[in-house]
Amino acid sequence: MGGADPIERRQRGVEERFLQGLNEKKLNERKLNELIRGDDLIVAPVALNPIMARLAEEAGFKAIYLSGGSLGWLKCVTEANLTLPELAEVAVDMRAVCKLPIVLDAGGGWGDPVHVHRTVALTEAAGFAAIEIEDQLLPRRVEHHVGIDHLVPTGLMLKKIEAAREARTDPDLVIIARTNARRAGGLDEAMRRAEAFHKAGADMLFCYTRSADELRIMGERLPPPLMMFAPPDGFGTFALKELDLARLGYRLAASSGTAFAAMVKAVRQSYECLAQGRMDPFLGPGGADKEMKAAQDTCGLDRLLEIERRTMKDA
């Protein structure tokens, strides 16, 4: 070992640091169903590809959210046109490089109770930690994105929840039942549906609202654990802080589109500056090279170089 050349010692150091980091990550990784049994609100930012998943992990998040809405915008087709295999493929790509639990926004579950069986099977096969199923009419309507919801009867949604429980083979998979009835029928109707979803066996309830007052009322009336959407502008200016929401029984806050919106703004500005021959003020002088290096670090370039040099030096 003392006779190793400087390159070999440097490569060995890279590998040791990688393994140390890997061990630390494993200590910090916990299953989502364990996390939501705790006392904290778990914030799950949207992640739509592997590098977003890695960036979320670097930022210290404990879970990520595969939003159907944001993925629909990414593909320029809206959530209404997405298929389950598309989301499963994204999850496999992310799980190959990041072990954070992924919450699947499954929309209406892609069918009636009989179809939910395959939905859950593919959800488990892709390695999702949780599946969020809504009481939306299928096929999905684009009008959902302008505040007009078309809901299925409560009875049908109860059968879909029961079908999801029956289809589940992974006891760690969290079944989240969501209602958008607040917009279609009012707050009381939304809570009536949520209470019925709980009795049908849903592991977590999600009544869609952006109102702090309504989140408080729901937290006081509905059994935990509860899910919500994180405020688009973050918790800093929101009326209820993370600790307040945790005390109300909220255990999961999915940030469904903020990071995607930031990405769109940054890319739009970059393209406009390039087309107009201007420097992008967001990156600044030398910023592109700096951020590209940071992206390479996030992707693990040093580790890949170490493997290549160690295994291919005699090739």
For 148, other C-beta atoms within 10 Å of its C-beta total 11
The alpha carbon of 280 is separated from its chain's Cα centroid by a whole number of angstroms, namely: 30
Residue (of 51, 59, 132) closest to 96 by Cα position: 51
pTM: 0.89
User: What pLDDT is stored for residue 83 in this prediction?
Assistant: 95
Domain coordinates in residue numbering, the chain: 31-257, 265-312
Domain with residues 31-257, CATH architecture: Alpha-Beta Barrel (3.20)
Q: 223, 198 in Cβ contact below 8 A?
A: yes
CB 59 within 8 A of CB 39: no
pLDDT of residue 27: 42
| Cα(257)–Cα(37) distance, integer angstroms | 26
Q: For each of the chain's 315 residues, which pLDDT tens digit applies?
A: 455 565 566 556 656 655 655 554 554 468 999 999 999 999 999 999 999 999 999 999 999 999 999 999 999 999 999 999 999 999 999 999 999 999 999 999 999 999 999 999 999 999 999 999 999 999 888 888 888 889 999 999 999 999 999 999 999 999 999 999 998 889 999 999 999 999 999 999 999 999 999 999 999 999 999 999 999 999 999 999 999 999 999 999 999 999 999 999 999 999 999 999 999 999 999 999 999 999 999 999 999 999 999 999 876
Q: Is residue 109 a contact partner of residue 116, using CB atoms and an 8 Å limit?
A: yes
Q: What is the pLDDT of residue 149?
A: 87
Cis, peptide link before residue 45, omega less than 30° from 0: no
User: Which regions of the chain does DSSP assign to beta strands (E)?
Assistant: 42-45, 64-66, 102-105, 130-134, 174-179, 204-207, 226-229, 250-255
pLDDT for the residue 7 = 54
Predicted pLDDT at 3? 57
CA distances for 290 relative to 145, 263, 272, 277, 308, angstroms? 37, 17, 20, 20, 24
**pLDDT for res 68:** 96
Alpha-carbon gap, residue 119 to 123, rounded angstroms: 6
